[in-house]
Amino acid sequence: MNIQLALDRFSVEEAIRIAKNAEDFVDWIEVGTSLIKEYGVESVRKIKNAFPNKVIVADCKTIDNAYYEFDMCFQAGADIATVMGVSPAATIKACIETANTFNKKVMIDLLNTTEEQKKELFQYKEAIFCDHVSKDEQEMTGKKNILTKQADDPLLQFAVAGGISLDTIEHFKDRMPSVVIIGSAITKAVDQRIAAEQFKKIILQWNEENQYENNR
């Protein structure tokens, strides 16, 4: 299980500073949608240059014009780019094709997708699927992601996102998603390094327990 640090609503310089504070305890760094919209794909390039050994996720949330947008993100140094699962099938296919060309990965955001749409999307076993509670839902209704309903296919990789904190992360232990996406619980902490370390300790313990169970 990897920790993805979500960087949103900051300047690029602030985002880099925060990520450096948490760097030792996170695995992936997300260039958030707000950063990309405000500063363009140059934000992806700058963050990849600052953290060349980290997996960089460009949360571009593509919904159309996929070849162009994914090409821009990967050219800028992203290792993973995101597409909305509610996009047309042609868009999803274009994202997968572009990622394969660059030997990169696609994260498909399942926000607002139906069960029927998910069944269609799950054919792309090379993708990572993000079970996502939106920022608006969090801020307007207080909803948090506390339980991810995943497909039964063990080959599928899942990420979870949406207001995850030290109080709610325990809800994911039984599911063991591939990626836990954490934003404000780290970025708004008084000590971002300590906050990231606390999450990392929990996940390392889970990984060890899971490995032990698998080897029994």
**Pairing label, strands 128-132, 179-182:** unpaired
**Per-residue pLDDT at 213 exceeds 80:** no
Domains of the chain: 2-215 (3.20.20.70)
Q: Tell me the C-alpha distance between 143 and 134, whole Å.
A: 9
Q: Give the span between the Cα atoms of 174 and 13, in whole angstroms.
A: 37
**pLDDT at residue 58 above 70?**
yes
Which two three-digit tokens encode residue 119?
Answer: 């069944």
Between helix 89-102 and helix 66-75 the angle, nearest 10°, is 30
The model's pLDDT over 136-162, given as tens digits with 9 standing for 90+, comes to 554 444 455 545 455 567 889 999 988
Q: Would you state the structure tokens that stand for residue 160, as one six-digit string?
A: 């979870």
End-to-end CA distance of the chain: 20
What is the tens place of the pLDDT at every residue in 36-50?
999 999 999 999 999
pLDDT value, residue 89:
97
Contact between residue 50 and residue 23 where contact means Cβ atoms under 8 Å apart: no
Note the pLDDT of residue 105. 98
CA angle (109 as vertex; 104, 114 as ends), nearest 5: 135
Q: What is the pTM of this model?
A: 0.91
Lowest mean pLDDT among 35-44, 71-80, 205-214: 205-214
